[in-house]
A and B are shown apart, each in its own frame.
Chain A
Amino acid sequence: MSRLLPKSLIGQMAVLIGAALLIAQLINFTLILNERQKTSLAQSQGPAVARFVTVASDLVQAPPDFRFAVLEDAPRRGASFRIAPESNVAADEERDSSTEARLGQSLANAGLKVAEVRAASRSEARESRRGGPGETHFLLLSAKFGSAWLNGRIATPRPDPWLSARLGLATLLLYLIVLGATLFVAARLARPLRDLAAAAERFGGREAPPTVASRGPSDLRRAIDAFNAMNGRVVALLDEKDRMLGAIGHDLRTPLASLRIRAESVEDEEERAAMAATIAEMASMLEDIVVLARSGRAREPERAMDVTALADALVEEQRALGRSVTLLPSDPQPAKVQPTLLRRAIRNLIDNAVKYAGSATVEVRRETGRVVIAVADTGPGLPPDQLERVTEPFYRVEQSRNRDTGGSGLGLAIARAAAESHAGELRLMNRPEGGLIATLSLPGDA
């Protein structure tokens, strides 16, 4: 059942209200139809029963010789009366009990004693006056006086053949009007809601926040306005964070440079080398911080570039340093990229693989329209609960890192920020055959 029900607001409203309204209307329709039919039956039966009772009481009061004259006089306006030994309604025929009760009551009211009454409603085909085929409707009424039956056959007005059709049409019209109004309201609600959801999905917290057009009912408009305002605050907050990080990274460079110069004058050679190494590490950390901060703000202009050639150049660069890095045969994959940022991201992924596994295998391929850069290694991999966390800034995998591997803990964070800045994503997975695989996917629309 829940699978048949549509998922969207407008769909659910339409189906539920449509179904509820249909049931209510059907009940209403049945009740009205029943009532109307009863009324129309009573209207047509009343006069017929009254005529029958009049004839019967005339007969009873008339002297025997005149009874024939009464019967002769009575057949007018579609009615005929007979006295017969048998009823014109057989005992086992389909009979009309409500009319029988009415007839019995009316006869009793007129002070006539009858042994039995029978009534049936009949119709037979006839040539209509307008030429087409039609039906004559009549009531068969019969009452037993002593041993003889008075049989009456009285024409009744035709029941309105369009009654149910007219009622049905009115019901349908009402149904459509109410359903239409409901759908209109639902659509008015659903469209801004859909826009709102789409904007929330698109919102990356980076570039100018998407502004949702404020429309629909006032409470929905309030939600949309609040959403827009919140987006603005989020962007301002992130901007502030990036600006601060960038400023810190930038401002610390100058004192660090002067520290480097002072360190040169340290007498002890070992001490001097250690200081230089620490300063170099700090410098590279600051560099990473600045890059990370910049990846959020001030986007580098995008250019069409062959991502495979970029990976190839980076792999070649690593090989020149004597590292074991391989690029699997890959076709050219053009994409619109921010070259410096993407270069840095891929380099970080390769560095990471080399650092923990000693080697890396890079592949560039196209997957459902996206360019995917996969960097695989054969190292120890990562515990599943850390796969997501290692891309957080400054997060370090415990124990597995010792100080001399260095690094700022920003490498993967930069790679992820780069992926997000390209509207792409970075995913880390343990390979079934062992080792870690990092896949950076970008929209490949160039």
Chain B
Amino acid sequence: MHAPDAAGYAFGPWVLRTGERELVGQDGVAVPLSTGEYNLLLAFVTHPKRVLSRDQLLDLSQGRELAAFERSIDNHISRLRRKIEADPADPKLIKTVWGGGYTLASDVKRL
């Protein structure tokens, strides 16, 4: 697993803190993430605005235990969307790329 090389990543209205492995919103309320969600989100914020296929996401998130379930990437994406999107039905941050995979549609600032 590659160690995150920043204390945090700011994207959209969120800050992903690598030390505590959690998201912090603008209101300062922390949103804890499961290991799978955290690793997946870390893959996105370290590769912003790039289309990532499910295979790439599996590799990047080191999801060894997830590898058995191909669908679990989709599952984790929908869980992440529920936590970070204002409207999970109309995602603005993690977008689906038809036939390709997913992409983080926001600029990321390293903190």
Binding site for B on A (CB under 8 A): 303-306, 309-310, 312-314, 316-317, 320, 332, 334, 339, 343, 446
In the assembled complex, the Cα of A312 lies from the Cα of B22 at a distance in Å of 13
Given known contacts A309-B83, A339-B20, A317 and B35 CB-to-CB distance under 8 angstroms: yes
Give me the 3 closest cross-chain CB pairs, A-B, nearest first.
A316-B34, A313-B34, A309-B31
Given known contacts A306-B29, A334-B29, A339-B30, A320 and B20 CB-to-CB distance under 8 angstroms: no
In the assembled complex, the Cα of A309 lies from the Cα of B33 at a distance in Å of 7
The residue in chain A whose Cβ has the minimal distance to the Cβ of B34 is: A316
Least CB distance from B51 to A in Å reads 26
The yes or no answer to B65 lying at the interface (CB within 8 A) is yes
A306–B34 touching, CB < 8 Å: no
Chain B residues lying within 8 Å of A313, measured Cβ to Cβ, are: 32-34, 37
Chain A residues lying within 8 Å of B32, measured Cβ to Cβ, are: 305-306, 309-310, 312-313, 339, 343
B65–A320 touching, CB < 8 Å: yes
Chain A residues lying within 8 Å of B79, measured Cβ to Cβ, are: 312, 316
Chain A residues lying within 8 Å of B83, measured Cβ to Cβ, are: 309, 312
Interface size range of chain B in the complex: 10 to 19
5 contacts between A and B (CB under 8 A): A306-B30, A312-B34, A316-B34, A316-B36, A320-B35
Given known contacts A309-B83, A320-B65, A339-B20, A303 and B34 CB-to-CB distance under 8 angstroms: no
In the assembled complex, the Cα of A312 lies from the Cα of B30 at a distance in Å of 13
Least CB distance from A228 to B in Å reads 37
Q: What total of A-B pairs shows CB separation below 8 Å? A: 48
In the assembled complex, the Cα of A320 lies from the Cα of B39 at a distance in Å of 14
In the assembled complex, the Cα of A325 lies from the Cα of B19 at a distance in Å of 27
The yes or no answer to B100 lying at the interface (CB within 8 A) is no
Least CB distance from B92 to A in Å reads 18
In the assembled complex, the Cα of A387 lies from the Cα of B79 at a distance in Å of 36
The yes or no answer to B99 lying at the interface (CB within 8 A) is no
Least CB distance from B78 to A in Å reads 13
In the assembled complex, the Cα of A303 lies from the Cα of B28 at a distance in Å of 9
Least CB distance from B103 to A in Å reads 23
A317–B34 touching, CB < 8 Å: yes
In the assembled complex, the Cα of A357 lies from the Cα of B37 at a distance in Å of 28
Binding site for A on B (CB under 8 A): 20, 22, 27-37, 65, 79, 83
In the assembled complex, the Cα of A310 lies from the Cα of B32 at a distance in Å of 5
Given known contacts A320-B65, A339-B20, A304 and B29 CB-to-CB distance under 8 angstroms: yes
Given known contacts A309-B83, A320-B65, A339-B20, A446 and B36 CB-to-CB distance under 8 angstroms: no
Least CB distance from B87 to A in Å reads 14
Task: Tell me which of A320, A343, A446 has the highest count of chain B C-beta atoms within 10 A of its own C-beta.
Answer: A320
Give which listed residue, B29, B34, B37, B65, contacts A305 with CB less than 8 A: B29
In the assembled complex, the Cα of A304 lies from the Cα of B34 at a distance in Å of 18
Least CB distance from A444 to B in Å reads 11
Given contacts A305-B32, A306-B31, A317-B34, could you give 18 more A-B pairs where the C-beta distance is less than 8 Å? A304-B27, A305-B29, A305-B31, A306-B30, A306-B32, A309-B33, A312-B83, A313-B33, A313-B34, A316-B35, A316-B36, A316-B37, A320-B36, A332-B29, A332-B31, A334-B29, A339-B30, A446-B29
In the assembled complex, the Cα of A312 lies from the Cα of B33 at a distance in Å of 8
In the assembled complex, the Cα of A334 lies from the Cα of B23 at a distance in Å of 13
B33–A305 touching, CB < 8 Å: no
Chain B residues lying within 8 Å of A320, measured Cβ to Cβ, are: 34-36, 65
The residue in chain A whose Cβ has the minimal distance to the Cβ of B23 is: A309
Chain A residues lying within 8 Å of B65, measured Cβ to Cβ, are: 320
A303–B35 touching, CB < 8 Å: no
Least CB distance from B43 to A in Å reads 17
Chain B residues lying within 8 Å of A310, measured Cβ to Cβ, are: 32
Least CB distance from A107 to B in Å reads 105
Least CB distance from B80 to A in Å reads 11
Task: Tell me which of A314, A316, A339 has the highest count of chain B C-beta atoms within 10 A of its own C-beta.
Answer: A316
Least CB distance from A326 to B in Å reads 14
Least CB distance from A366 to B in Å reads 14
In the assembled complex, the Cα of A303 lies from the Cα of B27 at a distance in Å of 12
